[in-house]
A and B are shown apart, each in its own frame.
Chain A
Amino acid sequence: MAVLKVTFTKTNRDKLAQVLWVLNWVSVVTGVTLFSLGLFLKVEIVKRRELMSKEIVSVPNMLICVGLTACAINFLGGKICYDCVDTTKFLRWKLLMLPYIICTFFFTFCILVGALMCYSMRNDLEESLFLGLRDAMRYYKDTDMPGRCYIKRTMDMLQMQFQCCGNGGYRDWFHIQWISNRYLDMTDSEVVERLRSNVEGKYLIDGVPFSCCGLHSLRPCIQHQITNNSAHYNYDYRKEELNLNRRGCRQALLEHYTQIMQSIGLIVLIIWLFEVSVLTGVRYLQTAMENVLRLGDPDSESDGWLLENSIADTARYNFNIIKNLGKCYQVDDDPNIDVPSSSLQAQENVPVKQIPVAR
């Protein structure tokens, strides 16, 4: 009662072996693709490390490992399939094939996990970006402190490149002091008044850095006194939509990374399907070759299958093996071994056999 039994003639087996050899080499290429996708993602995340509170390393590392393992496994698979055309060469690989198939099965499972991780990264990323951007905006003015001197540049380049402003929107800049005290004239009455009116002594203004300026605006950029309509001629900040970038940088970065992740996830899913089909082919080839050896005639027809017995039987059989692995030191069931019956339970377990006496 084999699962999905298929009969193979000699030519079919040879053709299957050749096709699988080619497919395994294609899989090596897809493994390299996986590796490079992981590397690309890692580079993208490291590029903006300053804007994230916690660097997300799990997904790119997983993809890199899976890619390298795929190359190795499929390289070995290619060699095996190449040798399968000849029954004498197959004998070399006979013992290795079943463990190889089991390993590959678990490995394809890892690919699937990798693909699903790509889609689940979003929440972690959002949290990380929120905290990272908040800190970056806070340290925007600290261009004289070592370790923070490039945050201004990074933030400005980010806002210009993604056409975004602030964390959630441009108003985030109104709540932090982004102009350093070094450039504030403390003798000026206006500055002193503003500092005094703030509880924490911060110089807050309704202005944004130049990098928030919208490219598509029709008029020269208004970046100071944004909410003050009378400070500028012919200006109403509620109607003026193109003056500053409306989108928040958290939203912009999240969209950017989600797009990358979705594309990578899709490619990894396709690679997973491909790997599963190659694995199925290798399994059929293995069972067909083993049956040929069992029959003795290398040119005869043989059957190939996925599982020898039904799924339930195979599961029960494997479960028993695993159960018995744990029992290898217990000798209760073996009647050949003479166990000194020290306990009553042991005595009861050993059945007393009546030797039939011939009359």
Chain B
Amino acid sequence: MLLSCYVFPHQSARVLELHLLSSPSFLHHGDTHVMDNTDIHCVPNTLMIVGLASMGINYFASRICQDALDPGRFPRWKTFLKPYFGCSVFFTTLMLISVILSYAMKGSLETSLKIGLKNGIRFYKDTDTPGRCFQKQTIDHLQMEFQCCGNNDYKDWFEVQWISNRYLDFSSKEVKDCIKSNVDGRYLVDGVPFSCCNPSSPRPCIQYKITNNTAHYNYDHQTEELNIFIRGCREALVNYYMGLMNTIGAVVLSVFLLQSSVLASVRLLQTSMEAVAGQENVEIETEGYLLEKGVKETFMEYVDPVLKLLLLNQVTPPEAKPEAGATGTTTTTS
């Protein structure tokens, strides 16, 4: 009977879980531009659904426990309890599956980030093309916030033309030479955008002619580590999301354990109350159990009605009629 006290504080844990779980979805919204496909959205969506469902589950659990204190009021929950346990076990298993899924999706996340960032860097200069005009802003913001540069590292910027032709003086000899020396006619420089600059550097940022030691006084690009960010943005983002998943995974696992124990306790309470029902002396000892039959039989018991519902739709009507006729004749003879 003390279970009812145990379940009430669980409600507040639910609300907290919901807040926590909506946060990855919120963060994804801002960085969706650098993600190629959005399969990863299934993890926060599942967690949100599970969070909402468990709020309902625990609300009913607390009501059941409250009514369990009075043997007279408990029987009205009788028909409700079987589907309730079915749903609860389903959602609790879903919670566990979502945690496993979040770790399994790491590979997919990495691939989609790789493609998304590659496109972002390629379309960096296209601030006049509709649909791509915000890529520059997004990539700059990303590089400054996560303190990273390029896809794998800063050298990715050397392979892409990130300065638009609109701002290149085609009458200048230098520009013409650069474009002529390139196979595809692109203007490639050994320079990076300003957002790659590291604020922790002791000297003003060197973003152009990075590999040319003579172009700058007292500069050696091999030893200069703090000038621009060395880390690639893909690595930075994957680390960030995995860190987030680790925290959330730990929280969801602990909530899963709590939820399972609550459900097991409510089940024990229900079975022991059922033994008391109809008895005159309500203060006798009764036994509670988790499952009446074995695990497989109980599973079949739950799945059978669902299967029957599906099979009924598959059976063709003419086959049913002679069956019905046969059963009709058998009843008349007996």
Contact = CB atoms under 8 A, between A and B. Distances in A.
A180 B203 contact: yes
Nearest to B175: A233
A204 interface: no
Interface string B149-172: 000000000000011101111001
B199 interface: yes
B217 A178 contact: no
Interface string B180-199: 00000000000001110101
Interface stretch (A208-216, A251-259, A295-303): A208-216
A223 B218 contact: no
Given A220-B193, A221-B194, A182 B203 contact: yes
Nearest to B144: A160
A188 B167 CA distance: 29
Interface in A169-185: 178-180, 182-185
Most buried by B among A160, A185, A234: A160
A146 to B, nearest CB: 13
B140 interface: yes
B127 interface: yes
A178 B141 contact: no
Most buried by A among B164, B167, B204: B204
Contact of B202 (A143, A157, A210, A220): A143
A218 B129 CA distance: 11
B194 A210 contact: yes
Nearest to B172: A233
Interface in B115-136: 127-128, 136
B276 to A, nearest CB: 40
A206 interface: no
A209 B140 CA distance: 16
B137 A219 contact: no
Interface string A78-112: 00000000000000000000000000000000000
Q: Decide if the interface of chain A is mainly helix, strand, loop or mixed.
A: loop
Interface in B199-218: 199-205, 207, 216-218
B204 A211 contact: no
A233 B167 contact: yes
A156 interface: yes
Contacts of A180: 203
Interface in B207-233: 207, 216-218
A180 B203 CA distance: 8
Interface string A217-234: 111110100000000111
A219 B199 contact: no
Contact of A220 (B141, B163, B200, B203): B163
Most buried by A among B166, B194, B203, B217: B194
A160 B143 CA distance: 12
B204 A220 contact: no
Given A153-B199, A211-B199, A223-B194, A218 B136 contact: yes
Contact of A178 (B144, B200, B204): B204
Contacts of A157: 199
Contacts of B172: 233
Contacts of B199: 152-153, 156-157, 160, 211
A283 B166 CA distance: 77
Contacts of A217: 136
Contact of B205 (A149, A209, A220): A209
A225 to B, nearest CB: 13
Contacts of A338: none
A144 interface: yes
Given A160-B144, A215-B140, A216-B137, A183 B162 contact: no
Contact of B168 (A153, A184, A233): A233
Nearest to B217: A185
Given A209-B205, A216-B137, A220-B163, A182 B144 contact: no
A223 B208 CA distance: 12
A234 B217 contact: no
7 nearest CB pairs, A to B = A156-B199, A233-B169, A185-B217, A143-B202, A218-B127, A210-B205, A221-B194
Given A143-B202, A221-B194, A234-B167, 16 more contacts: A152-B201, A153-B199, A156-B199, A178-B204, A183-B204, A183-B217, A188-B217, A215-B137, A217-B136, A218-B128, A219-B163, A219-B164, A220-B162, A220-B163, A232-B167, A233-B172
8 contacts: A143-B202, A157-B199, A178-B204, A209-B204, A215-B140, A219-B127, A220-B163, A235-B167
